[in-house]
Amino acid sequence: MTISDLNQKFGIPETLAFFEGQGALPCVRISNSLATCELSLYGAHVFSYKPAGQQDLLWMSDTTAYEVGKAIRGGIPVCFPWFGPHAEDSAKPQHGFARIMTWDVESALELSDGSTELVLTLNSSEETKTYWPYAFEAELTVVVGKKFTISLQIKNTGAESFTYTDALHTYFNISDLSNIQISGLAGTSYYNGFGADTTVQQEELLRIVQEENRRYINHENDCVISDEGLGRKINVSKTGSKVTVVWNPNAATAKNIGDMPDDGYKTFICVEAVNAYTDAVVLAPGKVHVLSQTFFAE
């Protein structure tokens, strides 16, 4: 559908409009009395969420490519049907194919509390089956209001069970790494990077002083990112996930990431809702699983 077609069918006057974004990608801008949000139909990728009177809660790389066939760096990448590199074929796209395909618009509506809901879909096709041979129906729902909720629903529409991993790979905007601490992780076991052994976090508050790629297992608690520089706390909760990933590349690794400024690592922290490792999803025919993350600032 063209931008004009999308606006005619799904646009909401003064609240939701489709437009051509960078790289000619089809995008959506949502603006209500509670918040604003921008996202791309390419990858169902959320770029921005600004509650009324606040700075953006999401971080975007200003050197990322907005180009079909390439992933976008920052915001909320949707990882599906695998998280990280493909287990058997390193030539397949990192974090799956969902973030490098254009999704369809299913619905857009205003809710009774003043928030706005947008639903996007991605169905299995001959193209998706070149990467992954299963029949599925993916539905991404965002609700933009005083809080931001993003939900990824996967339905098995085929005749055989499949196993998948996924994530909402959220980049939170912060003043500086030196100003933040994260609560809600104490006493939880985690893998450090891709290591085979687990460690239990002893400290009550996590401060980021080096490269971190912590993969917390059996973790369902809320996290709070306290930011002294911006004078705010970002509350992060989730459902449908027992793995939480906290990631920041720090200086040395950031220099090797082509679509990130060398100093970009200083102003974001990823706190991700994940189904992977000990929490991969096994889905029988006709069954559904929903991964959801909600966050807000105070």
CA 255/CA 261 separation, integer angstroms: 7
Q: Which strands make up the sheet holding 35-40, listed edge to edge?
A: 16-20, 26-31, 35-40, 45-51
Indicate the residue type of 283: L
- Among residues 291, 172, 193, 187, the alpha carbon closest in space to that of 242 is found at 291
CA 49/CA 134 separation, integer angstroms: 33
The SS3 call for residue 160 is coil
Half-sphere exposure in the Cβ direction for 93 (13 Å, CA): 21
Q: Which residues contact 191 (CB under 8 A, 6 or more apart)?
A: 197, 198, 214, 215, 217, 277
Vertex 285: Cα angle to 281 and 289 (nearest 5): 35
Asked whether the beta carbons of 225 and 236 are under 8 A apart, the reply is yes
Provide the annotated active-site residues.
169, 272
Per-residue tokens: 183: 């609560």
Integer angstrom CA distances of residue 169 from 19, 24, 75: 24, 24, 8
- Among residues 188, 185, 129, the alpha carbon closest in space to that of 162 is found at 129
